[in-house]
């Protein structure tokens, strides 16, 4: 609930909100005045000492004055019902003061906060004070008229006209009550606007930067994951696979020389084991990163996945050559996961993979004639793949009513990298 929201509620006047609005503005006025003194002091002392060099760091510190001011202001926003508003500063890349200073001085949030501090010290706090004076001070002065009249025999209402009789004094007091109520609303309205201004300047403005930074780091994470898979694939290929082939070759040659008997039998068994290990390693390497995807692209890799599927797959994929590597990779793993799920859970007799590149998007549809009811959250690998697709600004959607059919659709915006392919 914010002060603006409370304005529309019944019982606003009886609630704590008028008091909170007044407290917000009064504390703002006091704090603003303090900021003015501190900043001016810093500038004057720093300027005076600048000739002695020692003043320069002081001037620099003044530039950072926005940071504590903003911290207090963000805290105060809670009085107006806005908040908590988190600071939008970045975390310094390294511990220590130099890194902290470097980060703070380079990010826009620091300068925006300094601008806010200047605005607060020069314009906002007098406005806050004025608002409280008009909306609360004036009506309270009118309310005080009967008391003053009782004490002195006459009273001046807001220094404008003189009250000589009790009825007049009571009328003025009644006007004071009405104006006080109106003032409470005005105070709430102004405090809300004032808090909104502070929130926009000190918080939300950096959301764009923050989101951009998050998106970038997510892309980097996926890239790193992808690069790591390729590295593992390469290491296995260059290392274990070559050695196993050499071992198998040596065993094969040894079998040629071995006289028939127990030794030859043992060699034959060892040779067969080496062959099986090679076959398993080949499948493992293919699962980690299919080289056919790198060498021949999405169509060949999907055709291969379809070949391997225990459920027969109808394939209709029309692509204009090669697509960007992360797109091919994400799309390929979506198809693999979908075909694996179809084989495991759907009870389908046929599956189909259809797709193409239209209007700047890669669109793939993987469907089956199974019993449906697939749950994307039910531990299938699809959630992770949906994340991967969304990193590429793509979308993954699943339609699987009970009774079927199941249709998985993936769309990724991309441009062909090599149209002749």
Partner 1 sequence: MPADRPLRIVLAEDSVLLREGLTGLLTRFGHQVAAAVGDAEALVTAVAEHDPDVVVTDVRMPPGLHDEGLRAAVELRAERPGLPVLVLSQYVQRAYAAELLDSGDGTGVGYLLKDRVGQVEEFVTALAEVAAGGTVVDPEVVRQLLRRRRDPLARLTPREREVLALVAEGRSNGAIARALVVSEAAVGKHIGSILTKLDLPPADDTHRRVLAVLAFLRA
Query: 106 vs 243, which CB is nearer to partner 1?
Result: 243
What is the secondary structure of 119-165 as a DSSP string?
Answer: HIIIIIHHHHHHHHIIIIIHHHHHHTHHHHHHHHS-EEETTTEEE-S
Closest CA to 324 of 189, 216, 223: 223
Residue 296 touches partner 1, criterion: CB under 8 A: yes
Residue 251 touches partner 1, criterion: CB under 8 A: yes
Residue 339 touches partner 1, criterion: CB under 8 A: no
CA 421 – CA 318 distance, rounded (Å) = 12
The strand order across the sheet containing 406-413 reads 313-318, 351-358, 361-368, 406-413, 395-399
Residue 84 touches partner 1, criterion: CB under 8 A: no
The residue within the footprint of partner 1, chosen from 264, 292, 340, 343 (CB under 8 A), is: 292
Residue 278 touches partner 1, criterion: CB under 8 A: yes
**Quick one: how far is CA 288 from the chain centroid?**
30
CA 225 – CA 219 distance, rounded (Å) = 10
Q: How far is the CB of 414 from partner 1 (least distance, A)?
A: 21
CA 137 – CA 396 distance, rounded (Å) = 61
The residue within the footprint of partner 1, chosen from 76, 112, 194, 271 (CB under 8 A), is: 271
Residue 252 touches partner 1, criterion: CB under 8 A: yes
Residue 274 touches partner 1, criterion: CB under 8 A: yes
Residue 246 touches partner 1, criterion: CB under 8 A: yes
The residue within the footprint of partner 1, chosen from 165, 242, 266, 399 (CB under 8 A), is: 242
The residue within the footprint of partner 1, chosen from 213, 223, 235, 238 (CB under 8 A), is: 238
Q: How far is the CB of 330 from partner 1 (least distance, A)?
A: 19
DSSP state of 314: E
Residue 300 touches partner 1, criterion: CB under 8 A: yes
Query: 38 vs 240, which CB is nearer to partner 1?
Result: 240
Evaluate whether 191 touches 295 at the Cβ level (below 8 Å). Answer: no
Residue 197 touches partner 1, criterion: CB under 8 A: no
Residue 304 touches partner 1, criterion: CB under 8 A: yes
Q: Which helix or strand (DSSP H or E) is residue 221 part of?
A: helix 207-236
Upper half-sphere CA count for residue 388 (Cβ side, 13 Å): 21
CA 383 – CA 201 distance, rounded (Å) = 37
How many residues lie near partner 1 (CB under 8 A)? 41
The residue within the footprint of partner 1, chosen from 78, 89, 90, 282 (CB under 8 A), is: 282
CA 329 – CA 290 distance, rounded (Å) = 9
Residues in contact with partner 1 by CB under 8 A are 234, 237-238, 241-243, 245-246, 248-253, 255-256, 271, 274-275, 278-279, 282, 285-286, 290-292, 294-296, 300-301, 303-304, 306-308, 312-315
């Amino acid at each position: 609930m914010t002060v603006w929201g409370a304005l529309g509620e019944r019982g606003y006047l009886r609630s704590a909100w008028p008091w909170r609005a007044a407290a917000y503005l009064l504390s703002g006025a006091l704090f603003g005045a303090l900021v003015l003194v501190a900043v001016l002091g810093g500038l004057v002392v720093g300027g005076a000492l600048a000739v002695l060099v020692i003043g320069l760091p002081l001037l620099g510190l003044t530039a950072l004055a926005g940071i504590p001011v903003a911290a207090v202001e963000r805290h105060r926003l809670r009085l107006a019902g806005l908040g908590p508003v988190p600071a939008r500063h970045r975390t310094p890349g390294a511990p220590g003061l130099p890194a902290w200073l470097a980060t703070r001085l380079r990010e826009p949030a620091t300068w925006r906060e300094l601008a806010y501090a200047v605005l607060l010290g020069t314009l906002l706090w007098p406005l806050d004070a004025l608002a409280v004076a008009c909306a609360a001070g004036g009506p309270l002065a009118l309310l005080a008229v009967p008391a003053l009249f009782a004490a002195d025999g006459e009273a001046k209402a807001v220094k404008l006209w003189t009250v000589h009789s009790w009825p007049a004094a009571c009328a003025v007091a009644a006007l004071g009550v009405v104006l006080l109520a109106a003032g409470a609303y005005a105070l709430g309205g102004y405090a809300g606007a004032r808090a909104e201004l502070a929130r926009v300047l000190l918080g939300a403005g950096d959301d764009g930067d923050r989101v951009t930074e998050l998106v970038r780091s997510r892309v980097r994470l996926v890239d790193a994951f992808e690069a790591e898979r390729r590295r593992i694939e390469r290491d296995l290929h260059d290392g274990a696979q070559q050695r196993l082939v050499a071992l198998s070759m040596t065993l094969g040659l040894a079998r040629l020389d071995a006289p028939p008997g127990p030794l030859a039998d043992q060699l034959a068994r060892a040779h067969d084991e080496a062959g099986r290990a090679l076959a398993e390693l080949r499948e493992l390497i293919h699962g980690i990163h299919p080289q056919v995807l790198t060498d021949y692209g999405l169509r060949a890799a999907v055709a291969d996945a379809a070949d391997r599927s225990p459920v027969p797959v109808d394939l209709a994929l029309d692509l204009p050559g090669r697509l960007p590597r992360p797109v091919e990779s994400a799309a390929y793993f979506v198809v693999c996961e979908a075909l694996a799920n179809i084989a495991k859970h759907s009870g389908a007799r046929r599956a189909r993979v259809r797709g193409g590149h239209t209007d700047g998007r890669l669109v793939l549809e993987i469907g089956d004639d199974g019993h449906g009811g697939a749950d994307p959250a039910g531990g299938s690998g699809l959630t992770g793949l949906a994340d991967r697709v969304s990193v590429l600004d793509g979308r993954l959607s699943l339609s699987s009513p009970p009774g079927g059919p199941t249709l998985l659709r993936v769309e990724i915006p991309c441009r062909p990298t090599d149209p002749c392919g």
